[in-house]
Structures are given as structure tokens and as C-alpha cells.
Amino acid sequence: MSFLVAVCGGSCSGKSTLAATVLRSLGSETATLLAFDAYYCDQSSLPPEKRAEVNYDHPDSLDVELFAQHLAMLSNDEPIESPIYDFATHTRLPETRRIEPAPVVIVDGILLLSDERLVSQFDMRIFRECPEDVRLDRRIERDVLERGRTEASVRKQFAATVKPMHDTYVSPSAIHADVIFEHARIQVHQAAELVVEEIQRALARV
């Protein structure tokens, strides 16, 4: 059985950096990484102009059923074929990414702890808290550079869906976390060290 770790937090809160840092510290022989972002529902049936109107910060935008199935498979030491999502076109690519099971599976995503079906599957639940203005600045930089967006469109989406959905689903889900790391109080590398130590203690008890 794999040890499943959820790393949750708002968009651009530093959760993915934290997850990647923990992965590097543990090493590829001990841990693997799974991104909830890869499980966005395919929007290829919609015309391009309609795809931008979808609320991608609502839980319904994600294929939770497939994700939960893949989590269970990895937990039971079975490999999975993770979808690959194209954020520029809002479509799921025909190819998949094979992920082999590992003693530790690190999962990152904004809505990991907002669905009861997922919360109970994780052995460790982490929430990365970060101020709204910091998250917005980071999101603008990321989406403009990596996802072909304009700053105006990023700001519009943040106000229309990202902030409301964060306040409705993401922030309240922190109640399910075993530990909350606050942006102002602890750096990512420090948080990663604490997480790695706890994972190693948990593995030693098995």
C-alpha cells in the first residue's frame, strides 16, 4: 500500500512547489507525483469561445471519479495512465502519462480536500495558505508565460471565478488538513523538511 499525501491550497499558493520539493527530497525511488490539474474534464465538444466561459475553479470541472479510481489503483500498487490536459485549448490530449506506484504518492491540487470522496483516501493532508494578492500576482505571471493568456483575461477570471470559488470551496477545505503552512510564517523549503520528516516517520511505522 502506498502512502498518499495531499498538498492543497489556493491557485498559485506554492502548493506545487512544496509538492515538488518534497518529491526531490524523498527521491524518485521512494515517491512519485500526481497532479489533480491533469484531471480537468475535456472541453473539446465546446467551441473555443465557450471553453473560456467554463468555471474551472468549481469542483464539477474535474473528473473526480477517474481521479479517485487512479488514487485507489496507486494505493494498491497498480500503475495508472494519467490524462494529459492542454490548458491552452482546454482539452484532454489523446496520449496519457504512465505513473508507476511508489511507496509515497504526492498529489497536488486546489480542490483535493473539498470532496469527501478524496479526503478519506489520503494518509496525510497538507494545506498551503497564501494571501490573495500574492496568489494573483503569481497567477498572472504563470498564465501569461505558460498558458498563452493576457493579463487582462487572468484578472477577469480571478475576479469572476477564482476568488469566489476559493472562498467557497478551497479555503473552507483547510479544515480537513492535518497541518496548515502559512505563507508569511514558513518558507517552502522549511515546510518541505517538516513534511519529509513526518513521511519518513510514518513509513518507519509500517
pLDDT digits (tens, 9 = 90+) for 78-97: 999 999 999 889 999 999 99
- Start-to-end CA distance of the chain, whole Å, equals 10
| Domain range annotation of the chain | 3-205
Please identify, in words, the CATH class of the domain defined by 3-205. alpha beta
pLDDT digits (tens, 9 = 90+) for 119-157: 999 999 999 999 999 999 999 999 998 888 899 999 999
pTM, entire model: 0.91
The DSSP secondary structure of 13-29, one letter per residue, reads SSHHHHHHHHHHHH-TT
Q: What integer pLDDT is reported at residue 29 of this predicted model?
A: 93
- The C-alpha atoms of residue 134 and residue 124 are separated, in whole angstroms, by 26
Q: Which residue shows C-alpha cell 491552452?
A: 88
